[in-house]
Structure 1
Amino acid sequence: MRITFQEESINEKSFNRIFQGVSFKEIGLDLRKVKEIVEVERIENYKLPLLMFLLEDDTLLHIEIMNDEIKTDLQSMFTYDMSIVLRYKIQVRTVILNFGSRQDGKIMRNFGSMHYEVQIVDLSSIDGDKVYEELSQKITSGYLLNKRDKLNLAFLPFMKHSVSFSEALRKVILLIESIKDEEERMAYVAVISEIISRSTGEQGVKVLKEYLMDTEVGIRIRDEGKKEGMRESIMIILLEKFKVLPDDVYYAIAEQKNENTLMKWLQNVTSICSVDELKKMVFNIE
């Protein structure tokens, strides 16, 4: 089993810019502030953790997202958490952020002799329309966002809105586009794109695809080396569909460096229905 903390990536820089120093108390988690985002190496055929934060007390916070249609993979979550605990002797607290039908409390499972407990935080209880208006006023007036604002903006698409999830996501993206600081704007786009593409599947990817194809910020993000993020998005969508990938397909995607090819795969992967179709796409079989 391979798990290592990796050197800082492009995505990691964006996450650190947004989340460093942030406390999750605003969404009901009594935890220390974030020190930095942590990236872990993939364990083959298990879904990577969505978010893993190192906190100021040197514990880890593992965050996943779910709703009525998107279910979390407890086996994968447990595998990564226990690997980190056993190898690095670091305490891991695991939290699911729920949106959709209201749900909170805890999920408890036993894996052999190991007891696994996950806390659920209900984002759908937060008035997203109100939060959107507050953030919109600050951003359009040129005010700097405080730590609470940054947390709210990062998770704004998942709060309760008077419109559909897709429409709320479009509104949030347009709001981010109005941020005057270019690097800050790009960081939010990278963070929300990563969270959406790795947690909502086809539901959010379509909106992101339209945005990343047509806007200046989206083009710059691709040009600055988001191949890693595209590969990761492809892997996550496929693992949601098929649970396990053939080794040749897995390595072909992991080692693909051509940006145009990755973008084409990302555009087509949601419509793939079988492993045979997947192999035809990856290996360019007519």
Structure 2
Amino acid sequence: MMSGQTDIAYNNYDIIFRNMTAQFKEKVLDFYGIHTAPIVRVEAVDLPTIAVNDRRMDFLFLLADDTYLHLEFQTTFDEKDLDRFLQYDVSAYERYKKPIKTVVIYGSNVEKVLEQKSYGSVQYKIQAVLMRNYDGDAIIQDLWTKIENEEELTDLDELHLIFLPLMQSSVNRSERAIETVELAKRIKDEEKQVRLLATIIAVSDKFIDKEYVEKLMEVLSMARVIRMAEERARISESQQAIKKYLGARLGLESKPMQNKIDLITDLYLLHHLLDDLYRAEKREEMARLIDITLEKQRASHAPNFVEDW
């Protein structure tokens, strides 16, 4: 990737990751042959013990069964990559001390790969997903129709949209990445739009050709995407702070209230609610404050933080 202002992922990984968590949370990847528990969150991948050609692992997901999914994107196959992935997994295990499953998603030009390698007493195994088995041209046409008709996208539709640039296609992956971003920008649900854009940015940054970077920047309006994503991250952080406080004060009894907190997306109201909850003494009073906040949001027509494109 090019450095400077076009270096998307490395300068903005914290923001992108928080929005990817919202995009992938509770989703499973079974339809790609990746059989795991639902995703809970995307972990940071700044593992200090890794120094492999100045590279870092692509994505690390915490799963609902308290294990990890290590996801890599590759447009070529090289047996040496497995050496690197093994080092990533060892470093991640040193940090988290939990089982790790590694899946490598290969672009459409890759036909054969190696999924297991022996290091003597150490046997390392990954799972490969070959995107050449997916018809990107047919899938993008189906997505265009759904989005233009303002149909609700399923979880599968959203994940197909994210992985479109890696699928078998009549155009190269850089052109398809740009088409994918253009398509995502047509989604009317602004919160879903920014979640998908953030994820498409993060994934495409792994394989897009350098000559298309500036063109992609123009299509993305990157500063606006990051600003929207950052605002959404602040909302998520405020929601999590309130839910954590409720959990600490009330334990399992707070679960219904925590579910209501997810419905409050006004940052100003969230900040004031947290202050009010600190002063509340009884569970009933906390529940009433949350209901009042929800009513205030409804009364103001629940303004979204995302601006029109």
Could you say which TM-score interval applies, normalised by the shorter chain?
A: 0.5 to 0.7
Per the alignment, residue 246 of structure 1 pairs with: none
1:209-248 residue pairs with structure 2 within 5 A? 209-213=214-218, 215=220, 217-223=221-227
Alignment TM-score, normalising by the size of structure 2: 0.62
* 2:51 is aligned with 1:45: yes
**Correspondence for 1:235:** none
1:217-262 superposed Cα distances (whole Å, 9 cap, x missing partner)? 4231355688xxxxxxxxxxxxxxxxxxxxxxxxxxxxxxxxxxxx
CA apart distance, 1:78: 1.2
Instruction: State the Cα distance separating 1:91 from its structure 2 match.
Output: 0.7
Residues 22 and 148, structure 1, Cα contact 8 Å, conserved in 2 = no
The one of 100, 104, 109 equivalent to 1:92 is: 100
Question: Which position in structure 1 is the counterpart of 2:41?
Answer: 36
Equivalent residue, structure 1, for 2:25: 20
Q: Deviation digits for residues 68-109 of structure 1, max 9, x if unmatched?
A: 378873333212211232443211111111113343564222
CA 1:38–1:178: 2 relative to 1, 3 Å: same
CA contact (8 A) 1:193 1:208 kept: no
Whole-angstrom CA distance in 1 between matches of 2:194 and 2:219: 15
Q: Cα–Cα, structure 1 residues 66 and 131, in superposed 2: closer, same or farther, change >3 Å? A: same
1:67 is aligned to 2:72:
no
Q: What are the equivalent positions in structure 2 for 1:108-147 lying under 5 Å apart?
A: 108-111=116-119, 113-147=121-155
Q: Which one has a bigger Cα radius of gyration?
A: 2
Residue in 2 that maps onto 1:200: 207
**Any conservation in 1 of the 2:106–2:128 contact (CA below 8 Å)?**
yes
| Counterpart secondary structure, 2:168 | coil
Residue by residue over 1:120-160, the C-alpha shift from the partner in whole angstroms, topping out at 9 and shown as x without a partner, is 11111011111112211221122222211121111111111
**Which of the numbers 163, 180, 189 marks the counterpart of 2:171?**
163
Question: Where does 1:263-278 land on structure 2 (aligned, <5 Å)?
Answer: none
Secondary structure at the aligned position of 2:125 is classed as: strand
Q: Deviations over 1:18-41 (max 9, x none)?
A: 111211111112222211111132
- Work out the CA distance in 2 between the residues paired with 1:175 and 1:149: 12
Name the CA shift for 1:105/1:70 in 2 (closer, same or farther; >3 Å): closer
The 2-side partners of 1:200 and 1:72 are apart by 18
Residue 184 of structure 2 is matched in structure 1 by 176
What SS does the corresponding residue of 1:61 show, helix, strand or coil? strand
1:107 has 2:110 as partner: no
CA positional deviation for 1:117: 0.9
Change (3 A) 1:69 1:82: closer
- Alignment counterpart, residue 193 of structure 2, candidates 185, 197, 207: 185
Cα distance change on mapping 1:178 and 1:224 into 2, 3 Å: closer
Question: Is the partner of 1:115 in helix, strand or coil?
Answer: strand
Alpha-carbon shift at residue 111 of structure 1 (Å) = 4.1
Residue type at the aligned position of 1:45: A
Identical residues among aligned pairs (%): 26
Whole-Å separation in 2 of the counterparts to 1:24 and 1:153: 13
Counterpart Cα distance in 2 of 1:208 and 1:48: 20
Q: Name the SS for the 2:40 alignment partner.
A: strand
CA distance in 1, matches of 2:60, 2:187: 26
1:116 to 1:100, Cα distance in 2 relative to 1, 3 A: same
Q: Matched residue pairs, number?
A: 215
Query: Relative to structure 1, is the Cα distance of residues 212 and 183 closer, same or farther in structure 2, using a 3 angstrom cutoff?
Result: farther
What CA distance in whole angstroms lies between the structure 2 residues aligned with 1:20 and 1:50? 17
| Equivalent residue letter for 2:174 | S
Query: How far, CA to CA, are the matches of 2:213 and 2:196 in structure 1?
Result: 13
Unaligned runs of 5+ in 1: 1-7, 227-286
- Aligned partners of 1:103 and 1:120 also within 8 Å: no
